[in-house]
Amino acid sequence: MEQYESYKNKMRQIADINGAISVLAWDKEVNLPKKGAAARSQQMATLSGMAHELFTAADFGQELTALIESNNLTPEQHQNVVLTLKDYNKSTKLPTEFVIRRSQVVSEAYHAWIEAREANDFGVYKEDLKKIVGIARETAELFGYEDHPYDALLDMYEPNAKTADLTVLFKDVREQLVNFVKILKEKSQVENDFLSKSYDKDKQWNFGLELLKNMGYDFDAGRQDISAHPFTITFAPTDVRVTTRVDEHDLGNMTWSCIHEGGHGLYEQGLSWDYYGLPLGEACSLGIHESQARMWENNVGRSQAYWQAHYSDLQAVFSENLKDISPSDFYKGINQIAPNAIRTEADELHYHFHVLIRFEIEKELMEGTLEVDDLDKVWNQKYAEYMGIEIKDDRQGILQDIHWSHGSIGYFPTYSLGSFYAAQFFAQAQKDMPDLIQEISEGNSSNLLSWLRQNIHQHGRYFTPEELCMKITGEKLNFKYFMDYAKQKFGAIYGI
Amino acid sequence: MEQYESYKNKMRQIADINGAISVLAWDKEVNLPKKGAAARSQQMATLSGMAHELFTAADFGQELTALIESNNLTPEQHQNVVLTLKDYNKSTKLPTEFVIRRSQVVSEAYHAWIEAREANDFGVYKEDLKKIVGIARETAELFGYEDHPYDALLDMYEPNAKTADLTVLFKDVREQLVNFVKILKEKSQVENDFLSKSYDKDKQWNFGLELLKNMGYDFDAGRQDISAHPFTITFAPTDVRVTTRVDEHDLGNMTWSCIHEGGHGLYEQGLSWDYYGLPLGEACSLGIHESQARMWENNVGRSQAYWQAHYSDLQAVFSENLKDISPSDFYKGINQIAPNAIRTEADELHYHFHVLIRFEIEKELMEGTLEVDDLDKVWNQKYAEYMGIEIKDDRQGILQDIHWSHGSIGYFPTYSLGSFYAAQFFAQAQKDMPDLIQEISEGNSSNLLSWLRQNIHQHGRYFTPEELCMKITGEKLNFKYFMDYAKQKFGAIYGI
């Protein structure tokens, strides 16, 4: 089919440009000399403009519609074109005037956020954040929605996610998880001081590389580097880069950054090169992406079985620091549950309180029932209520995240969705592979990776997150799996 | 002037794409995982195609002509447009059919060259090299020329260079340099075994960085990395990357690679950001570019004054290896003159015999007075005649260089031009700054850098190489300066 080939070539051309932008973005975070920033921004903007122009060309929508109506496509081809048309409609619903205005608002908000953080004063950022919220509301109106304006934003990150469903989900988080954590708090705390001893950075780096190799991350199709904030970025499924950071006095930072980004990286390496540039060659959603990272980081990487396989190696590398730490002490220590004002430093359970708070705030901002002026107070109240934490200043509070300053509203929920999907998928994987935990305890996660490739990676965007979850587990996302996992794991650790 | 602004914007857009291609090329040499090669080639090809399409758009030539005819431009603006029109005419003189055919021939020739090297057999490469020569002849006809087809090729690398002038120049090389080297050969040889002791690679790397810093290479506008073959690449004058290689048993390799690429890097960092994307923001020619690298590498970096400043530091780093090597022994050792079959391993004088041989061969190939079938024999004869070297096999002989397999004919002479310009410029710099050698011996080359910025870097392509040389030194390129430099320096070292 000539028409489909022409569609495919166009999509690949756009993917080539986007792949180049990703190389520039990666280099920016990993290598860029200070003075190179201005030229780099300009080069990335030029390429982005060219990709956008190609994608939103006036006749492309008609071509896509004609392709769909031709009834001449395989199911996979059909799905590619349908999803491309969805993306196209989204892209073309935003008038150029709005796109330019939005990019100005975002650019100014980002700088205001930086300044506000330096000044440790939410006041400096307030007016810009109001504009960001205004832009988000406009975006929702331009995209359109049936039930809730927030739905239009969620759909950008988690296709078909609904505010109503998330409201139910986060009600469960608020009720069940908050209560469970209260019970844990009454038990005596586990010790994790050993994680902040001095750990040689080169040795940490090498150990992290070994963990990545062991997971199955393909170093012939990627590499690891250092950056201020760990991330995963894809140039093609044959070149997926991960980064980590290494802090001499925080062994945990390097270890679970590597495993987390490794999980993202395995997903991207598992996408299809044949579908390069097409929706079926792209990840399903941010939530599903996060599920891959979280499953490796937590369900696998903080499990007793995993460290049964790897702790003796770690102990051998850092014998001075770890010789008196038993495997059981280590396992407990790396799973300490303790509240923290900062989301990115949260433990596996408290993390979802952070997301819950952001979800509630974003939803109300979109409804117009909450205004930016009161946001720091609301923020601090919620932290006091859900976590019993007193927020001491704005930098530790409402100014901690970059997301809103980037214009990203509707993004945060995908973090929790990731963990909840991870728990549900991992429960299913254990059902499907009764020897899985045994294998992991022997340092062998290859069957898990095959299961993920088979059930998740290979499908790209063919299914929506909900369809994928149904297909794999026979039911929709169900918070029960996460709570069961949490109760079993932390109940045992804290002796409940 | 609105028209000029629109021209400028277009050129900057193209420069942004080319800058991105350079980032991808850099990453390819420095970082690329094995499996990423196919996607990377495709991405680079897509971007190259887009840049080419933008630049060769049918109406662009008319726009440029109209701009020139408007008589409304400053001299700098005028020169930008005139040079752009020259580039445009070159680009559009090659029909698409030819460009595609050429790229196929080059791609096949490159692979044949790789195979031939592996087989150590020129025969494997012969037929492809014939096609390359055919393509070069066709290129010359398409570009057009007045006197000699080779002129058309030379102009791509060294604007306005003429075969007739180079013939005179290389006659001087053949007569004067060959004779001088014969005289040196009769003297007792200087010792340089100490350079191949075991030198810790990290320490070498750090020492190289110090040399770069000392030269004035701006690490806020660039960085150094490792690659198989050292190179310099520019994303913008604010981001100029250099690479080096470090061989445990060859201190010289790292040292003079760093200084050489540093010289290229300083030129690129000295180009104007205001002229980003425009001819006046580009280097004058390959020969002038090479002059910057060679001046730093040889006239500065292998001088007695330079090591007066740096030898004690080097000795301190490698005290075990160098404690018994006096400054004078070191200086002599790093300037050993001895024939070598391999161009890239040649000393400062023999280097030009290698280029001479390639020049003579290329010229005759373009005239049609020499055929590819005989090339290995001719090659080996010339090496015997000019250097007294017996070429043992094709890998050490005619298969050593990548250039022809890339389709680059007319490139080699710029290497020698670089050294000869360097000698002439450096002689002038010494006249203009009587304290220069004293400053260099104190580790201070900042006045030299300012002089280069002032006299060369800031002008970009405003002047042709010949005009630039006239402007700086009051005369055209004159081989005498190189011979004077060689006689003085090596005469002293070898006790003539």
Residues B143 and B160 in one domain: no
Burial label, A316 (beta-carbon count in 10 A; 0-12, 13-18, 19+):
exposed
Q: Could you say which of B147, B164, B193 is where a domain stops?
A: B147
What gap in Å lies between CA A142 and CA A317, rounded to an integer? 56
Residues A240 and A133 in one domain: no
Give the pLDDT confidence score for residue A361 in this predicted structure.
98
Residues B140 and B188 in one domain: no
One-letter identity of residue B486: A
Q: What is the per-residue pLDDT across A100-141, written as a single tens digit (0 to 9) for each?
A: 899 899 999 999 999 999 999 999 999 999 999 999 999 999
The C-alpha of A225 sits at a distance from chain B's nearest C-alpha, in angstroms, of 10
Q: Which of B27, B218, B224, B271 is the best substitution to test chain A (most A C-beta atoms within 10 A)?
A: B27
Residue B221 touches partner A, C-beta closer than 8 Å: yes
Q: What is the per-residue pLDDT across B96-150, written as a single tens digit (0 to 9) for each?
A: 889 889 999 999 999 999 999 999 999 999 999 999 999 999 999 999 999 999 9
Residues B98 and B238 in one domain: no
Chain A: residue whose CA lies nearest to B54: A50
Q: Could you say which of A103, A126, A148 is where a domain stops?
A: A148
What DSSP string runs through B275-322? TTTSGGGS-S-HHHHHHHHHIIIIIITTSHHHHHHHHHHHHHHTHHHH
**Whole-complex ipTM:** 0.92
Q: What is the per-residue pLDDT across A80-100, written as a single tens digit (0 to 9) for each?
A: 999 999 999 999 999 888 988
With CB atoms and an 8 Å threshold, state whether A23 touches B19. no
Q: Which residues, 6+ apart, have CB-to-CB distance to B198 below 8 Å? A: B248, B249, B321
Give the pLDDT confidence score for residue A49 in this predicted structure.
92
Domain count, chain A: 2
Report H helices in B56-196: 60-69, 75-93, 96-119, 123-143, 149-157, 163-172, 178-186
Which residue is listed with tokens 């934490």? A389
Give the pLDDT confidence score for residue A445 in this predicted structure.
98
Give the residue ranges of chain A where pLDDT is below 50: none
Residue A209 touches partner B, C-beta closer than 8 Å: no
Share of chain B above pLDDT 90, in %: 97
With CB atoms and an 8 Å threshold, state whether B36 touches A219. no
Closest CA to A27 of B210, B32, B14: B32
Which positions in chain A touch B22 (Cβ < 8 Å)?
A: none
Give the pLDDT confidence score for residue B1 in this predicted structure.
77
With CB atoms and an 8 Å threshold, state whether B27 touches A23. yes
Which positions in chain B touch A221 (Cβ < 8 Å)?
A: 33-36
Residues A204 and A63 in one domain: no
What gap in Å lies between CA A176 and CA A334, rounded to an integer? 23
Residues B111 and B180 in one domain: no
| Mean per-residue pLDDT of chain B | 96
* Domain region containing A31: 2-148
Residue B12 touches partner A, C-beta closer than 8 Å: yes
With CB atoms and an 8 Å threshold, state whether B35 touches A276. no
Q: What is the per-residue pLDDT across A411-455, written as a single tens digit (0 to 9) for each?
A: 999 999 999 999 999 999 999 999 999 999 999 999 999 999 999
Residue B272 touches partner A, C-beta closer than 8 Å: no
- For A78, the token pair is 């059909």
With CB atoms and an 8 Å threshold, state whether A36 touches B239. yes
- Specify whether the CB–CB gap between A233 and A26 falls below 8 A: yes
Q: Could you say which of B147, B164, B191 is where a domain stops?
A: B147
Which positions in chain A touch B42 (Cβ < 8 Å)?
A: 12, 16
Q: Which of B261, B282, B297, B348 is catalytic?
A: B261
Residues B134 and B161 in one domain: no
Give the pLDDT confidence score for residue A495 in this predicted structure.
95
What DSSP string runs through A263-302? HHHHHHHHS-STTTTSGGGS-S-HHHHHHHHHIIIIIITT
One-letter identity of residue A265: G
Residue B235 touches partner A, C-beta closer than 8 Å: yes
Residues B329 and B283 in one domain: yes
Pick left, alpha or beta for residue A38 (phi over 0 → left; psi -120 to 50 → alpha; otherwise beta). Answer: alpha
Give the pLDDT confidence score for residue B149 in this predicted structure.
97
CATH (domain of A77) = 1.20.58
Residue B180 touches partner A, C-beta closer than 8 Å: no
With CB atoms and an 8 Å threshold, state whether B33 touches A222. yes
Residues B320 and B457 in one domain: yes
The C-alpha of A452 sits at a distance from chain B's nearest C-alpha, in angstroms, of 21
What value does the mean pLDDT take over residues B293-307?
A: 98
Which positions in chain B touch A23 (Cβ < 8 Å)?
A: 20, 23-24, 27, 43
Residues B306 and B270 in one domain: yes
Q: What is the per-residue pLDDT across B156-211, written as a single tens digit (0 to 9) for each?
A: 999 999 999 999 999 999 999 999 999 999 999 999 999 999 999 999 999 999 99
CATH (domain of B410) = 1.10.1370.30
Q: What is the per-residue pLDDT across B424-453, written as a single tens digit (0 to 9) for each?
A: 999 999 999 999 999 999 999 999 999 999
Residues A454 and A324 in one domain: yes
What gap in Å lies between CA A370 and CA A47, rounded to an integer? 38
pTM value is: 0.93
Residues B492 and B379 in one domain: yes
